[in-house]
Amino acid sequence: MTTVTAWVGVGANLDRPFRQVAAALAGLDDLPATRCTATSRIWRSPPMGPPDQPDYANAVARLETALGPAALLAALHEQEDAAGRVRAERWGPRVLDLDLLLHGDTESDDPALRLPHPGVWERDFVLHPLAEIDPDLILPGGRPLREQLARVPAGPGLEPTEEGAHG
């Protein structure tokens, strides 16, 4: 079975968000033809979008998967649905959000599945947990993660917790 390395962003800000993120990270090993090989700590971050919502708990996971990008995204959506995710608004509060950030070297502009995820380049709550797992990662297009981190420092309110992390 040929596998690729994929990266998943995990976030929540409703219904005990740190517990939601921890459960989602543990559940990644249950995805078909997929194994979670490392997770960051869980980070607290202020919300994107409407400011009248709770802070987020965020983490990043590294997977080895035989699933193609579309199949992996579908499996992630099933995990969100099982957690009670309701897709009511963009950037609104949510029980669980699983974003496929990277899938090997795949690049796609398909509106249903953009890879790399457009937020990889600009979101401190993605870049810093990603660097915690693999600081020497080269992002698609040959961009070193370390250089991107220099462009996107940790913003106010982004802080790692001692929860989570294994690798």
Residue with the bigger pLDDT between 121 and 149: it is 149
CA of residue 103 relative to chain centroid, distance: 12
Strands (E), the chain: 4-12, 34-45, 56-65, 97-103, 108-110, 113-115, 138-139, 143-144, 159-166
Query: Residue type at 18?
Result: F
Q: Find the catalytic residue in 41, 44, 62, 94.
A: 94
Mean pLDDT of the chain: 90
The pLDDT of 9-20, averaged and rounded, is 93
The pLDDT of 61-90, averaged and rounded, is 88
Range with lowest mean pLDDT among 46-60, 80-94, 122-136 = 80-94
Please tell me the predicted confidence (pLDDT) of residue 82. Answer: 87
Which of the 8 DSSP states describes residue 84? T
Q: Find the catalytic residue in 44, 62, 97, 124.
A: 97
Specify the CATH number of the domain 4-166.
3.30.70.560
pLDDT of 100 > 80? The answer is yes
pLDDT of 93 > 90? The answer is no
30 carries an active-site annotation: no
97 carries an active-site annotation: yes
pLDDT of 167 > 50? The answer is no
CB 160 within 8 A of CB 132: yes
Please tell me the predicted confidence (pLDDT) of residue 44. Answer: 95
34 band by pLDDT with thresholds 50, 70 and 90: very high
Domain boundaries, the chain: 4-166
**Cβ neighbours around 155 below 10 Å, total:** 12
pLDDT of 88 > 80? The answer is no
Q: Find the catalytic residue in 44, 85, 123, 124.
A: 85
Please tell me the predicted confidence (pLDDT) of residue 162. Answer: 74
Per-residue b or e along 135-152, where b marks 16 or more CB atoms closer than 10 Å to that residue's CB? eebebeeeeebeebbeeb
pLDDT of 89 > 70? The answer is no
110 carries an active-site annotation: no
**Residue closest to 97 by CA, chosen among 122, 124, 60:** 60
* CA gap 126, 132 in Å, rounded: 10
CB 43 within 8 A of CB 18: no
The pLDDT of 10-15, averaged and rounded, is 93
* CA gap 36, 33 in Å, rounded: 10
87 carries an active-site annotation: no
